[in-house]
Amino acid sequence: MHLHILGICGTFMAGIAALAREAGHTVTGSDANGWPPMSTQLEALGIAVLPGYLPEHLDPAPDVVVVGNVVSRGNPAMEHVLNAGLPYVSGPQWLAENVLAGRHVLAVAGTHGKTTTTSLLAWLLDQAGLEPGFLVGGVPVNFGVSARLGTGKCFVIEADEYDTAFFDKRSKFVHYRPRTAILNNLEYDHADIFPDLASIERQFHHLVRTVPGQGRLIVNAQDANLPRVLAMGAWSEIDWFDGSGHDARGWSAQRSDHGFTLLQHGLPVGTAATPLAGPHNRANAVAAIAAASHVGVAPDQALRALERFRGIKRRLELLDTVAGIEVYDDFAHHPTAIEVTIAGLRERGPGRILAVLEPRSNTMRLGGHAGGDLAASLGDADLAFVMARADLKWDAGAALAAVGERLRLHQDLDTLAAAIVAEARPGDRVLVMSNGDFGGLHRRVIERLAAG
């Protein structure tokens, strides 16, 4: 079967492409933009990506067009699909019908930490010999790909609350029908589709409604908003987790010098050294261990596998060290994610942190995070460089005034790169945060540092 994927370079749709290719289908796709690691993954798989959304990309007609949620009415390729009567389906529906049916689905939902927790969980199951399938919104270094079919019963999926497609406004995750569901945390995000936090909570409730009575919910005990979701109705077993060691209802972690001690109901069950820094990553690890236990992975086995986990591309990824200056890449684009990412880097040792932020997501550009939380999220950075994009709907200078003299606002990439290099000195960590490619800023900074 020939699948043509509209919006193929998105993290989710690139995973769909990889799964379809592995299943033996012919896969092509179109997109307006693409950047690593998904563009390089598609290239390595030999999947042709056609630039733009032209009707001629669909000639000859594929057997089915898989439509990403980046595509809306008025898109030339989509209008051709509708006018020509070509079969089309959303990515989540295609996945549910062709990959997930009949499998034990372990879904990881939450505003933050989905990619890391999903990658961890897939790795724990893999190392336990369960040969899971998975689809992650990033590329786990241990696997080298964002998705695979797997030969085992389990399938691990990053469960996004964003809407499915222009013709299906439900959240993606309602298609997945998990038996094990992690509710990692819940905050306001996606201002382009959700008017308020309550509307996101309702979508999480819809996910909870799909988990069977014999299934299990793994719930963050420290999150203030998830209890409201559970109060709407929960019919499954509930297991609790936290990364602070403060909650004795379920699984928890206490930080140690080289990792953490895992607790269950307040009692220690083992220790692990982990390369993942920060309290948020301890919570992610504990959630993954708790979910793995639901499919029979013993805690000691999970802890040993955790020590061999090598991280995810674009999640506090060290790109290079030049002249004693480390340059990191991270996907953080929400105030909480920015704050915990800086805290995680701070845990790795001494040295100034030069935080560099591109407010690129729809919510960021629309001003959904332009209040005090964004300025506060940069509070632990020694210097904060912010790209004041021309399409921002808010005044970056006014919104970030609380950052004070540590703030550096720029509107041009070359000027921004030059300013970072001018300020950086040996021992510094340059942390670049964006949910896009940031115009190649990482490369510009590394090249300028190397040139001296």
pLDDT in tens, 81-108: 999 999 999 999 999 999 999 999 999 9
Is the CA virtual torsion 163, 169, 174, 175 positive or negative? Answer: negative
Mean pLDDT computed over 292-300: 97
Q: Is residue 427 pLDDT above 70, yes or no?
A: yes
CATH code linked to domain 317-451: 3.90.190.20
The CATH number given to 102-306 is: 3.40.1190.10
Cβ contacts of residue 227 below 8 Å, gap of 6+?
none
| pLDDT band at 371; cut points 50, 70, 90 | low
Cβ atoms 123, 142 nearer than 8 A = yes
CATH 3.40.1190.10 domain position(s) in the chain: 102-306
Q: In the chain, list all ranges with CATH 3.90.190.20.
A: 317-451
With CA atoms as reference, report the closest residue to 6 among 66, 56, 87, 60.
66
Instruction: State the average pLDDT for the chain.
Output: 92
For residues 399 and 207, which has the higher predicted lDDT (pLDDT)? 207
Q: Residues of the chain with pLDDT > 90: what percent?
A: 74
Q: What is the pLDDT of residues 29-44, one digit of tens each?
A: 999 987 778 888 899 9
Residue 150 has what DSSP assignment?
-
Fold classified for 2-90? Rossmann fold (3.40.50)
pLDDT of residue 88: 98
CATH code 3.40.50.720 region(s) in the chain:
2-90
| pTM metric for this prediction | 0.84
pLDDT for 399 equals 86
Flag whether pLDDT at 135 surpasses 90: yes
pLDDT bin (cut points 50, 70, 90) of residue 368 is: confident
Q: For 173-177, 187-191, 201-205, which range has the lowest pLDDT when averaged over its residues?
A: 187-191
311 has pLDDT over 90: no
Residue 329 carries which DSSP code? E
Predicted local confidence at residue 273, as pLDDT: 85
Q: Is the pLDDT of residue 225 over 90?
A: yes
Which of 66-75, 227-236, 283-292, 435-444 is predicted with the least confidence, judged by mean pLDDT? 435-444
| Helix, strand or coil, per DSSP, at residue 218 | strand
Question: What is the C-alpha to C-alpha distance for residues 158 and 334, in angstroms, rounded to an integer?
Answer: 18
